[in-house]
Amino acid sequence: MKRYLIPLLIFVVLLVFLVIGLQLKPREVPSPFIGKPAPTFSLPVLGKEQAAFSPDQMQGKVWILNVWASWCVACREEHPLLVDFAKSQSTPLIGLDYKDKPEAAKAWLKQYGDPYQLSISDLTGQVGIDYGVYGVPETFVIDRSGIIRYKHIGPLTKEAMSQKIIPLIRKLEQ
């Protein structure tokens, strides 16, 4: 009897962990950066390498930082939403081209459309690390004071845009 009881108990414990894990929402990983100042940096602007961008330039504005790359398959999934967002919203959308070749990134934007006010090149991935990026794509909403208010992991969806990001932007812009 004991011979069957131990494997059964182990199975039940594993089953409990599985059920708990299935109820988690992987796109809503809590970020230690929410409510904290966005890390500062200065990176070259894609296509205008003599120009640089820093988050300090966005002080007083609510803005979005979208982490993407030309090699990212999931980025293609969310890209049409970003193009539509850029056409219909006045909120600045800044792209962070993550660990990508500038030539490949420029070609990708030319092929699929460029929704970004500007894109910056994070060739080494250091800025992504500073922002706690798990992988691309990821999207951050940053308020007028430079505080990160929201982080979306993975490709954006219509639901995430309409139910979370756009309402949050409207609230922050008031």
Question: pLDDT tens digit string along 26-49?
Answer: 555 567 789 999 999 999 999 998
Is residue 74 within 8 A of residue 151, CB to CB? The reply is no
Task: Report the topology of domain 34-173.
Answer: Glutaredoxin (3.40.30)
Strand order in the sheet with 93-98: 48-53, 43-45, 118-122, 93-98, 63-68, 138-142, 148-153
The residues spanned by each domain of the chain are: 34-173
| Other Cβ atoms closer than 10 A to 2 | 5
Backbone angles phi, psi at 64, to 5 degrees: -120, 135
> How much is the pLDDT for 127?
96
For residue range 121-137, what is the model confidence (pLDDT) as tens digits? 999 999 999 999 988 99
Tokens matching residue 57: 């330039």
- Find, among 146, 118, 117, the residue nearest to 131 by Cα: 146
Which among 21-25, 46-50, 77-81 has the top mean pLDDT? 77-81
- Residue that wins the pLDDT comparison between 144 and 31: 144
